[in-house]
């Protein structure tokens, strides 16, 4: 079961009804199912039938939801969208990264939801200070010779 909720950036902003794309993966990412969840209320629950046991769920896998500036945000198609674990999520002062075993990261970049790069590191880190970021949703990309690993986090 999937439970969707949203928070707004200001108390004057109401709930925004929107279809939310999700991608469900099995272990090893050898099979997947894409679905659109018609998100009409907070704490709304959805059930998606699959032919496999779900090991991972990615919300907005192709990064096409509309940002607060009404610009479409996307990712170039050549990116290898393997995931990294980011915790705690949401976070207030720092995030920790769990990178797949045997992966050497050559750089880390953090983008806001307008697609603007807000932080860049040229080394592999397991802990990143985010206390200077404004509250919001961010995309983290960790690069290596095989492609780019990515994940999202919320700064409170």
66 pLDDT band, cuts 50/70/90, is low
What is the maximum alpha-carbon separation in the chain?
47
How far apart, in whole angstroms, are the C-alpha atoms of residue 78 and residue 94? 29
Q: What is the pLDDT of residues 72-115, one digit of tens each?
A: 333 333 334 456 788 998 999 999 988 777 778 888 999 887 77
pTM for this one? 0.50
What digits encode the pLDDT tens for the residues 13-51?
777 788 888 888 888 888 888 888 888 888 888 888 888
Which pLDDT belongs to residue 127?
A: 92
Structure letter (DSSP) for residue 130:
-
| Ranges assigned E (strand) in the chain | 2-4, 18-25, 32-39, 44-46, 56-59, 82-83, 85-87, 94-98, 107-112, 117-121, 127-129, 136-144, 147-155
pLDDT digits (tens, 9 = 90+) for 109-139: 998 877 788 999 987 788 999 999 999 889 8
Domain boundaries, the chain: 1-61, 76-156
Is the domain spanning 76-156 CATH 2.60.40.1930? The answer is yes
């Amino acid at each position: 079961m999937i439970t969707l909720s949203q928070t707004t950036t200001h108390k004057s902003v109401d709930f925004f009804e929107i279809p939310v794309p999700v991608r469900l993966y099995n272990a090893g990412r050898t099979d997947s199912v894409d679905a659109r969840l018609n998100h009409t209320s907070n704490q709304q629950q959805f059930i998606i039938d699959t032919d496999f046991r779900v090991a991972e769920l990615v919300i907005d896998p192709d990064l096409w939801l509309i940002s607060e500036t009404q610009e479409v945000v996307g990712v170039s198609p050549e990116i290898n969208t393997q995931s990294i674990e980011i915790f705690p999520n949401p976070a207030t002062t720092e995030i920790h990264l769990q990178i797949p075993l045997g992966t050497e990261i050559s750089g880390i970049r953090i983008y806001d939801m307008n697609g603007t790069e807000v932080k860049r590191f040229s080394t592999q880190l397991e802990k990143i200070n985010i206390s200077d970021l404004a509250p919001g949703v961010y995309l983290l990309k960790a690069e290596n010779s095989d492609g780019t690993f990515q994940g999202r986090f919320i700064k409170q």
